[in-house]
Amino acid sequence: MSTTGTSQVLTGAAPTTTVVGAAPRRALRGTGAWLRRTATSARWYVRELLGDSAYDKYVARHHLEHPDHEPMSQRAWWRERAEAEAVNPQPRCC
């Protein structure tokens, strides 16, 4: 019995060989990439929503505008941000 199947005889198609298990491995590779992209996107969204990325943005902007001196430490920056928010409260959802 041939590994090409009976469809070749009926249709006149070129013989093909099927590797058992090849398609599921490729599907899993795509699933892993999709899962990584989804997790990365979810992490970005949560960091933006909660404000965790604010210090990173501050540091990037500070290096562009003031390359001659170091930015504040993360602890000092959050303290200053909380004090500024207490003095001048902004409307927010929660």
Tokens matching residue 40: 């990365």
Which segments of the chain does DSSP mark as H helices, in order? 7-11, 22-50, 54-65, 74-87
Rounded to an integer, what distance in angstroms lies between the CA atom of residue 34 and that of residue 40?
10
Mean pLDDT of successive 10-residue segments in the chain (94 residues)?
49 56 59 90 91 91 94 94 88 69
The domain locations on the chain are 20-51, 53-89
CA 91 vs. chain centroid, Å, equals 30
pTM for this entry: 0.54
Distances (CA, A) of 35 to 15, 26, 27, 39, 41: 36, 14, 12, 6, 10
Q: What pLDDT is recorded for position 89?
A: 82
Rounded to an integer, what distance in angstroms lies between the CA atom of residue 75 and that of residue 10?
75
Tell me the residue type at 49.
Answer: L
Rounded to an integer, what distance in angstroms lies between the CA atom of residue 76 and that of residue 74?
6
Q: What pLDDT is recorded for position 17?
A: 56
Q: What pLDDT is recorded for position 52?
A: 86
